[in-house]
Structure 1
Amino acid sequence: MTARFRLACQLPRWAGALALAAGMVHGAAVATPAADAVVAAPAAAPNADQITRGAYLAKAADCIACHTVDQAKPFAGGYPLATPFGTIYGPNITPDKETGIGNWSDEDFIRALHNGIGKNGEHLYPAFPYASFTKLSRDDVLAIKAYLFSLPAIQQKTPENKLPFPLNQRWILAGWNLFNFKPGEWQADPAKSAEWNRGMYLVEGLAHCQECHTPRNLTMGVNSKRAFAGAQLGGWTAFNITPDPISGVGGWKDEELTQYLKTGLVPGKASAAGGMAEAIEHSLQYLSDADLKAIVTYVRSVPPINDLADKKPRYAWGQPADDDADLRGVAAVSVSSNASGGAELFSGNCASCHSASGSGVVGGYYPSLFSNSVVGTRDPGNLLMVILNGVQRRGKDDQAFMPGFADHLDDAQIATLANYVLKQYGHADAPAVTAELVKTQRQGGPVSPLASLLPPGLAAAALIVVFILFSLLTRRRRKQPT
Structure 2
Amino acid sequence: MKTLLSASFALLATASAGAHAVAGQDSYELVEKGRYIATLGDCTACHTIPGKPLFSGGVTIDTPFGKLLGANITPDPQTGIGRWTFEDFQASMDRGHARGGKQLYPAMPYAAYTKVSREDNLALWAYLRTVEPVHNEVDTNQLPFPFNVRLSMTAWNWLNFTQDQFHPDPDKSPQWNRGAYLVQGLGHCGSCHTPKNLIGGDKEAAFLQGGALQSWMAPNITGAAHVGLGEWTEADIVSYLKTGANRFDIASGPMAEAVEHSTQHWRDDDLKAVAVYLKDLDHDHQKPQAMAADDPVMKAGRSVYEDRCSGCHTPDGEGIASLFPRLANAPLVNTQDPTSLIRVVLAGNRAGSTDAAPTGPAMPSFAWNLSDENIADVLTYIRNSWGNAAEPVSAGDVAKLRDTLQSDSGT
TM superposition score normalised by structure 1 = 0.69
**1:375 maps onto 2:333 in alignment:** yes
Q: Which stretch shifts more, 143-152 or 403-412?
A: 403-412
Partner of 1:297: 276
Over aligned residues, Cα RMSD in angstroms? Answer: 3.3
Of 113, 123, 135, the match for 1:143: 123
Structure 1 residue 52 displacement after superposition: 1.0
Name the SS of the counterpart of 2:123 in structure 1: helix
Q: What residue is the counterpart of 1:263 in the other structure? A: 243
8 Å Cα contact 2:217/2:338 also seen in 1: no
Residue of structure 2 equivalent to 1:437? 398
In structure 2, what is the equivalent of residue 55 of structure 1? 35
Compared with structure 1, are the counterparts of its residues 432 and 212 closer, same or farther at alpha carbon in structure 2 (3 Å cutoff)?
A: closer
5 Å-filtered alignment, 1:250-399, equals 250-267=230-247, 269-302=248-281, 304-310=282-288, 350=309, 353-354=312-313, 359-361=318-320, 363-387=321-345, 388-398=347-357, 399=359
2:244–2:250: 8 Å Cα contact kept in structure 1? yes
1:238 corresponds to: 218
Distance 1:189 1:427 in 2: 35
Output the CA distance in 2 between the equivalents of 1:85 and 1:406: 30
What are the Cα deviations for residues 175-218 of structure 1, in whole angstroms up to 9, with x where unaligned? 11112211132233344322122112111111112222222245
Higher RCO, 1 vs 2 (CA within 8 Å, ≥6 residues apart): 1
1-structure distance, mates of 2:49, 2:35: 19
Measured after TM superposition, the shift of residue 261 of structure 1 is 2.1
| Amino acid in the other structure paired with 1:386 | V
Equivalents in 2 of 1:180, 1:158: separation in Å?
A: 27
Q: Secondary structure at the match of 1:374?
A: helix
Q: Identify the residue that residue 209 of structure 2 maps to in structure 1.
A: 229
2:86 is aligned with what amino acid?
D
Measure the CA separation in 1 of the matches of 2:306 and 2:289: 30
Alpha-carbon distance in structure 2 between the residues aligned to 1:188 and 1:352 = 48
Cα distance in 2 between the residues matched to 1:140 and 1:48: 15
Moved more, 147-156 or 60-69: 147-156
Deviations 1:9-56, CA, capped at 9 Å, x for gaps: xxxxxxxxxxxxxxxxxxxxxxxxxxxxxxxxxxx9982111111111
Instruction: Answer whether contact 1:247 1:310 (CA < 8 A) is retained.
Output: no
Q: Does structure 1 retain, via aligned residues, the 8 Å contact 2:301–2:380?
A: yes
Going from structure 1 to structure 2, the CA distance change for 1:251 and 1:401 (only over 3 Å counts) comes to: closer
Could you say what secondary structure the match of 1:443 adopts? Answer: helix
- Cα offsets for 1:296-344 (capped at 9, x unmatched): 2222333x212324469xxxx9x9xxxxxxxxxxxxxxxxxxxxx9788
Residue 174 of structure 1 aligns with which residue?
Answer: 154
The Cα of 1:129 is off from its aligned counterpart by 0.5
Report deviation, 1:424.
Answer: 6.5
Q: What amino acid does structure 2 have at the position aligned with 1:144?
A: L
CA pair 371-128 structure 1, distance change in 2 beyond 3 A: same
Question: Are 1:88 and 2:49 counterparts?
Answer: no
Q: Say if 1:114 and 1:135, in contact at 8 Å, map to a contact too.
A: yes
* Identical residues among aligned pairs (%): 36
| Structure 1 pair 395–51 and aligned structure 2 pair: CA distance change class (3 A) | same
Q: Structure 1's 376 and 215: CA in aligned 2 closer, same or farther, altered over 3 A?
A: closer
| Structure 1 unpaired stretches of 5+ | 8-43, 320-340, 446-482
Deviation per residue, 1:98-129 (Å, 9 max, x gap): 32222222111111111100113210001111
| Residue type at the aligned position of 1:443 | T
Which blocks of at least 5 consecutive residues in structure 2 are unaligned?
A: 4-22, 294-299, 407-411
Question: SS at 1:58's partner residue?
Answer: helix
Hey, what's the Cα distance between the residues in 2 that align with 1:152 and 1:345? Answer: 54
**Structure 1 position 121 matched with structure 2 position 101:** yes
Aligned partners of 2:41 and 2:188 also within 8 Å: yes
Shift, 1:434, TM fit: 0.7
The answer on whether the counterparts of 1:247 and 1:306 sit within 8 Å (CA) in structure 2 is no
Secondary structure (helix, strand or coil) at the match of 1:81 reads: strand
Rounded to whole Å, the distance in 2 between the matches of 1:107 and 1:222 is 27
1:345, 1:279 → 2: CA distance?
32
Distance 1:422 1:258 in 2: 26
Instruction: Report the Cα offset of residue 140 of structure 1.
Output: 0.9
1:188–1:115 distance in 2 versus 1, CA, 3 Å: same
Q: 1:389 to 1:171 in 2, by over 3 A?
A: farther
Change (3 A) 1:195 1:54: same
SS at match of 2:57: coil
Instruction: Look up the match of 1:214.
Output: 194
Deviation at 1:73, TM superposition (A): 2.6
Mapped contact 2:227–2:334 kept (Cα < 8 A):
no
Larger Rg: 1
User: Matched residues in 2 for 1:372 and 1:161: separation?
Assistant: 39
